[in-house]
Amino acid sequence: MSAPPAPGPIGALFRRFRIDGYLLLILLMVVVASVAPARGEAAVAASWITKVAIGLVFFLHGARLSREAVIGGLTHWRLHLVVLASTFVVFPLICLGLAALPGWITPAALAPGLIFLGCLPSTIQSSIGFTVIARGDVPAAVASASASNLIGMFLTPLLVSVLLHAQGGRVSADQVWSIVLQLLAPFLAGQLLRRWIGDWVKARAPILTKIDRGSILLVVYTAFSGAVVEGVWSRLGAADLARLIVICGVLLAAVLALTAFAARALGFSKPDEIAIVFCGSKKSLASGAPMAGVLFPAATAGIALLPLMVFHQIQLMACAVIAQRYARRAEKAAVERASSGEML
């Protein structure tokens, strides 16, 4: 068999710096929306198409998610409590503090987006993927990440409402109810029909993943179109974006350190620690993009997504490195155990 072709210079660059190609597509949507935003009737049509696409995505999530995986992991309740505390208590409090910093540190226009970021649930795919790479407790990661997303459908809009009110903003009860109707109702429908369509959905996972990702691209384009029409780039400059990158980096470093410290202080095993660190430090773009479109007006939804988009890329880059380090430590420990066994 012939050797696989060597990666081109762009592929090599992506691998070296762990750049997420999908995030580049998301950034491309921001550029397209900045150059050619949807206006008037086109904006109305894009909004309705986006709502239908989001409903379809959450319906498919419901059809794919194994209830057995979630229920089976609930026995490890101490681990799940730590992850949920990090996701829905520690994260929001840190983000609330960052949003309250002076404007020369945290631009006022980005403060609601930071609060929104802090209230989101954990990711599912990347949390599990990194736990697998790091040789962690995979069943616990599946259960924690899944539970985080289920709880987030209720808790995220409520937290955003409470914390934005503390900052002088407001999310109405109608907006919270819209989240339930638009996200939770299709998800529950998928769960109810999973017995009949679950296998069909799983067999078409690659196609449905493209639908997933395409819907998020559509959400980003629609959100930023509204923001551009309202003059987002006249309110944010390059210096603001640079500060946002630093803020997101500090936020991720703080949560990674706190989750690792908590896992060790509470006496968890190394595999459990790995699951806690990766599930407790993530924020979901897949959940956040559609929620932003419902919770925030068209003029601010795009800005509200910026912190999440920046944090999403930083978390992927940082956690890829950390997962490899955990894996090397596990391999080294296994070699040492094998060597000591041979000596005996």
The answer as to whether 342 is a domain residue is no
Amino acid found at 326: Y
Indicate whether 8 belongs to any domain. Answer: no
pLDDT digit string (tens) for 15-67?
554 556 766 787 788 888 888 888 888 888 888 888 788 788 778 877 876 66
> How many structural domains is the chain composed of?
1
Assess if residue 3 is contained within a domain.
no
Question: pLDDT digits over 58-101, tens only?
Answer: 788 778 766 665 565 556 789 999 999 999 999 999 999 999 99
**Structure tokens of 317?**
């880059």
Q: Is residue 59 part of a domain?
A: yes
Domain assignment present for residue 306? The answer is yes
Structural domain span for residue 120:
21-32+40-327
Task: Check if the beta carbon of residue 82 is closer than 8 Å to that of residue 258.
Answer: no
Residue 156 belongs to some domain of the structure: yes
CATH number at residue 115: 1.20.1530.20
Q: How far apart are CA 181 and CA 192, in angstroms?
A: 16
Q: Could you tell me if residue 336 is inside a domain? A: no
Count how many residues are written for the chain: 344
pLDDT-derived band of residue 343, with 50, 70 and 90 as boundaries? low
Which residues in 324-334 are b (16+ Cβ under 10 Å) and which e?
Answer: eebbeebeeee
Residue 75 within any structural domain of the chain? yes
204-210, Cβ contacts within 8 angstroms, sequence gap of 24 or more: 205/64, 208/60, 208/64
